[in-house]
């Protein structure tokens, strides 16, 4: 038991991130997470770590009041999702995403970017 316990602690984290359990997480985004950009972007694009199930994957861009300001034309292809933006005045915007990987696992996340 004295030997087995440390071994379990060592190998458990490796088991939970095996490829079969891979979920779609955000790899990188344009505009970049937390960035300040000028001029205002015309779209937000997310590159995920896994291929996405288009019918259930969602991306929204919200203004500081929480109102959705994207053009609701989200397009999902492979592991990327993109949505168009109107002319954005300076301010802080929040990107909210829900990704359903082709293995049906759901992940969600959000980040902000600033237009100045």
Which residues sit at the interface with Cu ion, rule CB under 5 A? 23, 101, 103, 105
Instruction: Give the end-to-end CA distance of the chain in Å, rounded to a whole number.
Output: 60
- For Cu ion, the closer CB: 49 or 84: 49
Between CA 49 and CA 60 the distance in angstroms is: 19
Closest distance between Cu ion and the C-beta of residue 17, in Å?
11
- Closer to Cu ion by CB, 4 or 20: give it: 20
Peptide bond into 20 cis (omega under 30): no
**Closest separation between CB of residue 24 and Cu ion, Å?**
7
Query: Rounded to the nearest whole angstrom, what is the least distance from the CB of residue 88 to Cu ion in the complex?
Result: 33
- Beta strand 43-48 with 26-30: parallel, antiparallel or unpaired? antiparallel
Those residues with Cβ within 8 angstroms of residue 116's Cβ, 6 or more apart along the chain or in another chain: 36, 37, 38, 90
Q: How far is the CB of 105 from Cu ion (least distance, A)?
A: 3
**Given the complex with Cu ion, which of 103 and 110 has the nearer CB atom?**
103
Q: Which is nearer to Cu ion, 23 or 58 (CB)?
A: 23
């Amino acid at each position: 038991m004295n030997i087995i316990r440390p071994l379990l602690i060592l190998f458990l984290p490796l088991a939970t991130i095996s490829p079969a359990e891979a979920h779609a997480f955000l790899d990188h985004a344009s505009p970049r997470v937390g960035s300040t950009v000028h001029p205002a972007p015309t779209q937000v694009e997310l590159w995920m770590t896994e291929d996405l199930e288009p019918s259930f994957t969602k991306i929204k861009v919200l203004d500081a009041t929480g109102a959705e300001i994207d053009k609701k034309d989200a397009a999902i292809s492979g592991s990327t999702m993109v949505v168009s933006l109107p002319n954005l005045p300076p301010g802080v915007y929040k990107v909210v995403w829900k990704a359903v990987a082709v293995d049906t696992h759901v992940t969600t996340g959000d980040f902000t970017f600033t237009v100045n």
